[in-house]
Amino acid sequence: MERKNSNVMKEIVSALNGADTVRIITHASMDGDAFGSSAALCHILRGLGKRAEILLEDEIPGNLRFLDRNYCVRESGLPEEPDLCVALDCGALYRFEKRVESYQKGRNTINIDHHEGNPCFGALNWVEPDAPATGLLVFLLIRAAGWEIDAECGEALYAALATDTGNFQYESTNKECLLAAAELCDSGMDRVKVATEIYQNCRPEQIAIEAIAVERMEYLCGGWASLSCVTQEMLRETGALMSETERIVERLRGVRGVELAVLIKEEPDRVKCSLRSKHYVDVAAIAASLGGGGHKRAAGCTMRCGLEEAAARVRAAIEKEFADEGRDR
């Protein structure tokens, strides 16, 4: 497939080829695409004899730890100014706010991403909002460079594609992505292992908090929208971690008739909000109106206020969307 950004892809390949030290950064609260695409690139670069690391600011979610092969550091082991810093799957600098300085210390900086509205904060930017996952861009990059995809790289990229497409269900799942997944099956990776590690590997604490959130779910706008929350008290009560609440919003969207689903998450110092839509609502626009961003069918925002105030703002945004939507019909 001819890509509109094939020139920048070539420039990125030559920047990677020319670098000896590479710091990879992905967003905080990593998901499978963030960590899978980072692990794949780190593995490839180390295989090429380079010093590469993934610099983290928080924990790797339990169901993604199988992808880590000592790629991650919390204190950089590289020179303060590495040859190259690569941001993967980061729609904006605030997605890795504690490491912005480390990123900008790179002699050269690259930004590879698929979030709408990415402000192109790198020196070299490859941003494709139509791509279903950053993992697909990393796959295309590796293939264009002629680097070999072995089993370890294959499973990391497959994890990236599978998670960001909701197991190849979302409308972003295009033919190119399915062909890439098929090609990754030739890498020798164990596709079933990836699926069971990621999806059939929950701690009972996770199931417990999912149950409470589903029980507390409420319907808005006559069942057109669904809303629930995760509070600090629920985390204490169940022993679950915030990273174990990622699937809840998918459950909320899964209800027949629901177009828009929202999960409000109370963190110690702020409130985060995950938004999903099924067919047509542009949740990236709603998230943007609340100070966040993302994709048309999956987006998020962070609010510096209490849970009650955040919930009120979110409800107002949902009701406004429903009213506007009714006017269009």
Q: Considering only 71-79, 158-166, 249-257, 314-322, which stretch makes contact with Mn ion by CB under 5 A?
A: 158-166
Q: What is the DSSP string of 235-261?
A: HHHH---GGGGTTHHHHHHTSTT--EE
Instruction: Compute the least distance from the CB of residue 261 to Mn ion, in Å.
Output: 19
Q: Is 53 in the site for Mn ion (CB under 5 A)?
A: no
| Residue (of 199, 194, 204) closest to 153 by Cα position | 194
Only one residue has tokens 């022993």, namely 239
As given in the structure block, the two tokens for residue 129 are 């909002």
Q: Assess contact for 77 and 208: CB atoms under 8 A.
A: no
Q: What is the DSSP string of 63-110?
A: GGGGG-SS-EESS--S-SS-SEEEEES-SSGGGGGGGHHHHHTSSEEE
Instruction: Compute the least distance from the CB of residue 33 to Mn ion, in Å.
Output: 3
User: Taking CB positions, which residue lies at the least distance from Mn ion?
Assistant: 33
Sites for Mn ion among residues 178-207 (CB under 5 A): none
Q: Is 164 in the site for Mn ion (CB under 5 A)?
A: yes
Nearer to Mn ion, 47 or 129 (CB): 129
Nearer to Mn ion, 89 or 259 (CB): 89
Q: Considering only 15-23, 51-59, 160-168, 228-236, which stretch makes contact with Mn ion by CB under 5 A?
A: 160-168
As given in the structure block, the two tokens for residue 22 are 């590479």
Residue count (the chain): 329
As given in the structure block, the two tokens for residue 228 are 């629930």
Return d(Cα 245, Cα 74) in angstroms, integer: 24
As given in the structure block, the two tokens for residue 52 are 């590469």
Nearer to Mn ion, 134 or 173 (CB): 134
User: Could you tell me which residues are beta bridge partners of residue 273?
Assistant: 264, 301
Instruction: Compute the least distance from the CB of residue 249 to Mn ion, in Å.
Output: 15
Sites for Mn ion among residues 129-148 (CB under 5 A): 134
* Strand (E) or helix (H) holding 283: helix 283-289
Q: Considering only 29-37, 165-173, 216-224, 233-241, which stretch makes contact with Mn ion by CB under 5 A?
A: 29-37
Nearer to Mn ion, 62 or 129 (CB): 129
Nearer to Mn ion, 89 or 244 (CB): 89
β-strands 225-230, 260-266: how paired? parallel
Sites for Mn ion among residues 230-269 (CB under 5 A): none
Nearer to Mn ion, 39 or 229 (CB): 39
If you ran DSSP here, which 8-state letter would residue 145 be given?
H
- Three-state DSSP state, 111: strand
- Three-state DSSP state, 155: helix
- What mask, x for binding Mn ion by CB under 5 A, covers residues 54 to 93? -----------------------------------x----
Task: Pick from 16, 33, 53, 60 the residue near Mn ion by CB under 5 A.
Answer: 33
Nearer to Mn ion, 152 or 164 (CB): 164
Nearer to Mn ion, 106 or 300 (CB): 300
Nearer to Mn ion, 9 or 258 (CB): 9
Instruction: Compute the least distance from the CB of residue 51 to Mn ion, in Å.
Output: 26
- Residue count, binding to Mn ion (CB under 5 A): 4
- What mask, x for binding Mn ion by CB under 5 A, covers residues 86 to 125? ---x------------------------------------
Burial of 240 (0-12, 13-18, 19+ CB in 10 A): buried
- Three-state DSSP state, 127: strand
Question: What residues line the site for Mn ion (CB under 5 A)?
Answer: 33, 89, 134, 164
